[in-house]
Chains A and B, each alone.
Chain A
C-alpha cells in the first residue's frame, strides 16, 4: 500500500513566524512531489512541486525533498492569517497519492 503520511495538526503559529509542514512517503519509486493548499469548503490549489533532492523556493514558500529519507517538507516564511488552511502533500508513483493533510492555523 503506497502511503503519504502527514500530521493532521492543527499546527499553530503566530503571524510572521515560519510554518514547517512535513510529509513522508512509502513508495521509493515516487518521482514527483506536490504541495496543495485547501481552504475549508474549497478544492485544492497547487502551491509547489518538486522533483529533485534539495530545496526549491517560490516567494514565501520553500519545498524541501530528501529522497533517501523519503521526506518532503514545506516551509512558509512570514506566515499570514490568510495562510490558515489544510496543506496536502502528494506523491506520484503510478497515480497521485495524497496525504490526509495538515491543518495550519496562523494567529494574528
Chain B
C-alpha cells in the first residue's frame, strides 16, 4: 500500500510555456500532499503544502502565481509551472500523507524531471 504516482516522469518544454505535473495517491486517500523541488546534489526543498479542497500553503520564497497547485480530490494534486524558465529546471517530487494510517509518514512519488530550454 501507500503508492504515489506522478505524471509525467520527465518533460522538456520551451521557455515561456506552462507545464502541469500530476500527483496521485493510488491506494489511499491523501488529506495532504506536498510538493518538493530538488536541484542536483542538493537537499529536498518544500515548495508548498496542498490540502484537499482548500488553497495551498506556500513556503517563503515560492511564488504562488508561478507554481499553481490544485488539490481537487483526495487522490489527486497538480502542480502547474507557469511561464517556465531555464532556472525552473529541476526534479519535482510530490508526497502524500496517508490519513488512514493516522501517522505522519509521507510517501513520495517517483518525481518529475523538468528541463526548460
Interface residues of chain A, those whose CB is within 8 Å of chain B, are: 31-32, 34, 36, 41-46, 49, 88, 92, 95-96, 98-101
Task: Decide: B111 and A96 in contact? CB cutoff 8 A.
Answer: no
* 15 new A-B contacts at CB < 8 Å, known A43-B93, A95-B49, A96-B46: A32-B103, A32-B105, A34-B105, A42-B111, A43-B109, A43-B110, A45-B108, A49-B103, A49-B104, A49-B105, A88-B44, A95-B46, A96-B34, A98-B43, A100-B43
Is the CB of B106 closer than 8 A to any CB of chain A?
yes
Interface size counted on chain B using CB atoms at 8 A: 17
Cβ–Cβ < 8 Å partners of B106 in chain A: 34, 46, 96
Q: Whose C-beta in chain B lies nearest to the C-beta of A36?
A: B108
Top 4 A-B pairs ranked by shortest CB distance? Answer: A100-B43, A43-B111, A32-B104, A43-B108
Question: Looking at A43, A49, A88, A92, which has the most chain B CB atoms within 10 Å of its CB?
Answer: A43
